[in-house]
Amino acid sequence: MAEVKLFGVWASPFSRRIEMALKLKGVKYEFIEEDLKKKSPLLLKYNPVHKQIPVLVHNGKPIAESLVILEYIDETWEGPAILPKDPYERAQARFWAKFLDEKCIPAMWKACWSTGDEREKAREEVIEILGILDNEIKGKKFFGGDNIGLVDIAGNLIGYWFGIITELAGLEIVTEDKLPNFRKWINEYNNCSFVKENLPPKDKLIVFLKARFEAFNTSK
Ligand X SMILES: N[C@@H](CCC(=O)N[C@@H](CS)C(=O)NCC(=O)O)C(=O)O
Q: Which residues bind ligand X (CB under 6 A)?
A: 9, 12, 14, 36, 51-54, 65-67
Residues whose CB is less than 8 angstroms from the CB of residue 140 and which lie 6 or more positions away in sequence, other chains included? none
Q: Among the residues of 13-144, which ranges form H helices?
A: 13-25, 41-46, 66-76, 87-99, 105-113, 116-137
CB of 62 to ligand X, least distance (A): 12
CB of 117 to ligand X, least distance (A): 28
CA distance 194 to 53: 23
CB of 51 to ligand X, least distance (A): 6
| CA end-to-end span of the chain | 51
CA distance 214 to 159: 23
CA distance 45 to 3: 18
CB of 50 to ligand X, least distance (A): 7
Residue with smallest beta-carbon separation from ligand X: 52
Identity of the residue, 8 or 144, whose beta carbon is nearer to ligand X in the bound complex: 8
CB of 67 to ligand X, least distance (A): 6
The residue type found at 105 is: I
CB of 37 to ligand X, least distance (A): 9
CA distance 154 to 100: 8
Contact 8, 66 (CB under 8 A): no
Identity of the residue, 102 or 120, whose beta carbon is nearer to ligand X in the bound complex: 102
Identity of the residue, 36 or 91, whose beta carbon is nearer to ligand X in the bound complex: 36
Identity of the residue, 2 or 36, whose beta carbon is nearer to ligand X in the bound complex: 36
CA distance 194 to 166: 24
Identity of the residue, 180 or 211, whose beta carbon is nearer to ligand X in the bound complex: 211
- Beta-bridge mates of residue 193: none
Identity of the residue, 66 or 156, whose beta carbon is nearer to ligand X in the bound complex: 66
